[in-house]
Amino acid sequence: MLEIIYQDEYLVAINKPSGLLVHRSMIDRHETEFALQLVRDQIGQYVYPVHRLDKPTSGVLLFALSAEAAKAMSEIFQARATKKEYLAIVRGYIDEHELIDYPLKEQLDKMTDKKVRKDKGAQEAVTEYFRLGRVEFPYPVSRYPVARYSLVRVVPRTGRKHQIRRHMKHVMHPIVGDTKHGRGEHNQLFREKFSCHRLLLHAYALTFEHPVSGETLTLRAGLDEVFSRIIDVAGWSEIRY
């Protein structure tokens, strides 16, 4: 059973686990479970996706319960009239605050994007982050005698594919557990020391104006057991975000 964090007659939101696809994809043809179908079966009615989260990212995932609500919510997302907030654990001691304004080339998949233009220029991409905490673990990694990490609150201002993961890599502080854009030695350390086999990126809050009532909603999703345990081990339990 998925955790439902909000539901009314127009919308339903869940706390998506890390590792769960939003919907069926040719890229992951071996997968048999998807958030869309699981939510549909759980609440007993059809649901419409209005945005997405990467498969390894956990957190707030919103669906509409009618075609009309889906159209209205999709327009809200396209107009950038939402506020998305993420928690991430990144490699190293990152700066206290930065607005990363770094255009990104569209990432294409060989199977699903065969007909898409390959010569498109880089697209505007802006991500803001705020450092919440730092920690040093007494474990050697790479050429260093200790391992340092930072907890950050991340607010993407645009919505490019893998934007947060790519931007954190760009500033040399990749997200722990990122097998595509991260650092293998740090991912391995977290697997061995903390039994962490997931990307440490969590969409903990989504704020938007309800498409029917006009009410401003902030939907929040709690951390899973793995992410919470690492927060505790790092001494970040009292941090408010």
The mean predicted confidence, pLDDT, of the chain is 93
Q: Is residue 19 part of a domain?
A: yes
Give tens-digit pLDDT for 52-105: 999 999 999 999 999 999 999 999 999 999 999 999 999 999 999 999 999 999
Q: Is residue 241 part of a domain?
A: no
Virtual torsion, Cα 60, 63, 65, 67, nearest 10 deg: 150
Q: Is residue 240 part of a domain?
A: no
Q: What does the pLDDT read at residue 215?
A: 97
CA distances from 176 to 170, 182, 190 (A): 14, 7, 8
Q: What share of the chain is helix, strand, coil (3-state, %, to 5)?
A: 20, 30, 45
Q: What does the pLDDT read at residue 186?
A: 98
Give tens-digit pLDDT for 127-181: 999 999 999 999 999 999 999 999 999 999 999 999 999 999 999 999 999 999 9
DSSP string, 82-107: -EEEEEEEEES---SEEEEE--BPPP
Q: Is residue 43 part of a domain?
A: yes
Instruction: Give the count of beta carbons closer than 10 Å to the beta carbon of residue 4.
Output: 13
Q: Is residue 214 part of a domain?
A: yes
- State the maximum Cα–Cα separation within the chain, in Å, rounded to a whole number: 57
Of the chain, the end-to-end C-alpha distance in Å amounts to 27
Q: What is the CA radius of gyration of the chain?
A: 18
CATH code assigned at 73: 3.30.2350.10
Q: What does the pLDDT read at residue 110?
A: 53
pLDDT at 26 over 60: no
Which domain does 202 fall in, by range?
Answer: 3-233
What is the number of domains present in the chain?
A: 1
Please tell me what DSSP assigns to residue 166: H
Between residues 185 and 112, which one has the greater pLDDT? Answer: 185
Q: Is residue 239 part of a domain?
A: no
DSSP string, 228-239: HHHHHHTT-TT-
Mean pLDDT across 97-124? 78
Query: Is 54 known to be catalytic?
Result: yes
pTM: 0.93
Q: Is residue 144 part of a domain?
A: yes
Beta-strand relationship, 147-156 and 126-137: antiparallel
Tokens of 28: 């992951």
Mean pLDDT across 38-51? 96
Where residue 107 falls among pLDDT bands split at 50, 70, 90?
Answer: confident
Mean pLDDT across 28-54? 89
Q: Which of 8, 28, 41, 54 is catalytic?
A: 54
Q: What does the pLDDT read at residue 120?
A: 77
Instruction: Spell 93-122 as b/e; 16+ CB within 10 A means b.
Output: ebeeebebeeebeeeeeeeeeeeeeeeeee
Where residue 33 falls among pLDDT bands split at 50, 70, 90?
Answer: confident
Q: Is residue 12 part of a domain?
A: yes
